């Protein structure tokens, strides 16, 4: 009975959520688009001409938002986008125009190798990740899973970001959060946390933004 009440309450909140209504109006697949939009407007992350990697992309609202921003820099007569977007997820995603999608688990070396092949010698300007593991409710196990995903995103960024590039990841306040922030500070010159208005008040999710690598990886600035 309690579970049914919870489901009804969630459905009521979801239907009446202003961001859900905005997403339907603006053609976004999920309300999460407005989290990225708010952070982007504050921090000026996305610009025409960039190479962007979207980790944990499905259903695709972050890639949609990034695509719309890069389309603004394209010549209207030609259409398309000014830049490159590569999206990855272990769940299938409906195609998005001008977005390269890779189906697979980011935690597997084989999939990571495919992603690196897609990126090629291009230096990446921005890595965005709305990834979240399936949470078990066991705090220690969940924090370890979240930290692992952040570690993978950090490692990928170390190897592929331009020196002045940026990484934005979702994590959760609680056990392990301070360790993730510490790792970001070891890798980036500028680190900030963001809690956009579109993030539900009840949620402990927080986004961590790292900018400008302290020690650039194998990518050369002139690539």
Mean pLDDT of 16-21: 87
Joined tokens for residue 112: 């990571």
Is 33 within 8 Å of 64 (Cβ atoms)?
yes
The set of long-range contacts for 213-218, using a CB threshold of 8 Å and a minimum separation of 24, is: 213/157, 213/158, 213/161, 213/163, 213/164, 213/165, 213/187, 213/188, 213/189, 214/186, 214/187, 214/188, 214/189, 215/158, 215/187, 216/161, 216/162, 216/163, 217/158, 217/159, 217/160, 217/161, 218/159
If one compares 3 and 108, the residue with the highest pLDDT of the two is 108
Joined tokens for residue 55: 């980790």
130 annotated to bind ligand? yes
Kindly list the catalytic residues.
170
pLDDT one-digit tens code per residue, 43-53: 999 999 999 99
With a threshold of 0.85, does the pTM exceed it? yes
- pLDDT bracket for residue 222 (50, 70, 90): very low
105 annotated to bind ligand? yes
62 annotated to bind ligand? yes
Q: Residues 6 or more apart from 206 whose CB is under 8 A from it? A: 170, 171, 172, 173, 177, 193, 194, 195, 199
H helix or E strand, kind and range, residue 209: strand 205-213
Mean pLDDT of 93-111: 93
10 annotated to bind ligand? no
CA angle 17/23/27 to nearest 5° reads 160
Among 106-120, 147-161, 204-218, top mean pLDDT goes to 147-161
Distance between CA atoms of residues 104 and 92, nearest Å: 9
pLDDT more than 90, % of the chain: 63
If one compares 159 and 67, the residue with the highest pLDDT of the two is 67
pLDDT one-digit tens code per residue, 158-175: 989 999 999 999 998 887
Domains of the chain: 30-213 (3.40.50.150)
């Amino acid at each position: 009975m309690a579970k049914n009440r919870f489901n009804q309450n969630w459905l009521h909140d979801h239907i009446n959520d202003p961001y859900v209504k905005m997403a339907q109006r603006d053609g976004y697949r999920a309300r999460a688009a407005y989290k990225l939009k708010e952070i982007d407007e504050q921090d000026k992350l996305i610009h025409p001409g960039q190479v962007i990697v979207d980790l944990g992309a499905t259903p695709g609202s972050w890639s949609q938002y990034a695509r719309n921003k890069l389309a603004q820099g394209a010549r209207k007569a030609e259409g398309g986008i000014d830049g490159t977007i590569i999206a990855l997820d272990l769940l299938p995603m409906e195609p998005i125009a001008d977005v390269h999608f890779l189906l697979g688990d980011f935690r597997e070396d084989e999939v990571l190798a495919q992603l690196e092949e897609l990126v090629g010698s291009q230096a990446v300007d921005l890595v965005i990740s709305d990834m979240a593991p399936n949470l078990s409710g066991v705090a220690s196990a969940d924090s370890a899973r979240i930290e692992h995903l952040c570690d993978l995103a950090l490692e990928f960024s170390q190897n592929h970001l331009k020196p002045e590039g940026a990484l934005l990841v979702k994590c959760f306040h609680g056990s392990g959060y301070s360790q993730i922030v510490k790792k970001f500070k070891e890798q980036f010159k500028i680190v900030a946390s963001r809690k956009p208005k579109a993030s539900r008040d009840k949620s402990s999710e927080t986004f961590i933004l790292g900018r400008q690598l302290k020690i650039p990886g194998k990518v050369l600035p002139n690539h």
